[in-house]
């Protein structure tokens, strides 16, 4: 219970820090954000918290918080959040990859700021081989329109990440797509 309470407090503190202080680059705020990132990572990686009934909600909120911090002004905070996100994925490799994929898919579908989108897209492509065959068609139906909207963006860094991610995604989901879905995706790149 103590771990879960620490996790909730850190998530709330991070949410307040990112909402209230978008412009400030104060060193104390930076250290506090980094500290909360590590607390969240340790708590989510702790095997005792996985028996909690609301672990899925806590995992979802943690991934959202880390993706939000991927767009922070400070590069140290961005690197820490990406590192913590990778550590959570490695720790949750045993049974929560589906939930992580859903959260990354939500971030891709949101089509928000470039940095979190790039992180979500790359991590989703790395985890794409974990998609179960019966989930392939729903992912194609929901992911392809998002990929088309991402291809229409103007940021070159987003296009680079999309170019690196798409072969991995198509290797897994390409067999589930129809000819029209594939054509519409190809048209977005032309």
Cα radius of gyration rounded to whole Å, the chain: 17
Question: How far apart, in whole angstroms, are the C-alpha atoms of residue 110 and residue 112?
Answer: 5
Q: Given a cut of 80, is residue 45 above it in pLDDT?
A: yes
Nearest-10 Cα torsion for 39, 72, 144, 131: -20
Domain residue spans in the chain? 1-94, 98-190
Say what the pTM is: 0.89
At 18, is the pLDDT very low, low, confident or very high (cuts 50, 70, 90)? Answer: confident
Kindly provide the b/e burial profile for residues 9-33, where b requires at least 16 CB atoms within 10 angstroms of the residue's own CB. ebbebbeebbeeeeeeeeeebbebb
Of 17-26, 58-67, 142-151, 160-169, least confident by mean pLDDT is 17-26
- In terms of Cα–Cα distance, which of 190, 170, 172 is closest to 182? 170
Q: 54 and 44 in contact (C-beta within 8 Å)? A: no
pLDDT in tens, 128-179: 999 999 999 999 999 999 999 999 999 999 999 999 999 999 999 999 999 9
SS3 131: coil
């Amino acid at each position: 219970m103590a771990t879960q309470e620490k996790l909730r407090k850190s998530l709330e503190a991070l949410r307040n820090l990112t909402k209230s202080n978008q412009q400030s680059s104060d060193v104390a705020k930076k250290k506090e954000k980094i500290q909360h990132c590590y607390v969240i990572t340790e708590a989510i990686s702790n095997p005792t918290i996985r028996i909690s009934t609301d672990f899925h909600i806590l995992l979802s909120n943690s991934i959202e918080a880390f993706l939000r911090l991927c767009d922070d002004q400070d590069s140290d905070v961005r690197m820490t959040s990406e590192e913590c996100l990778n550590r959570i994925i490695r720790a949750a490799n045993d049974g929560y990859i589906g939930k992580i994929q859903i959260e990354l898919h939500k971030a891709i579908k949101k089509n928000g700021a470039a940095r979190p989108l790039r992180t979500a897209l790359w991590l989703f492509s790395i985890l794409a081989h974990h998609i179960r065959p019966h989930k392939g068609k729903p992912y194609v139906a929901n992911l392809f329109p998002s990929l088309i909207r991402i291809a229409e963006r103007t940021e070159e860094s987003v296009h680079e990440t999309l170019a690196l991610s798409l072969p991995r995604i198509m290797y897994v989901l390409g067999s589930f797509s129809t000819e029209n879905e594939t054509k519409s995706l190809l048209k977005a790149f032309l």
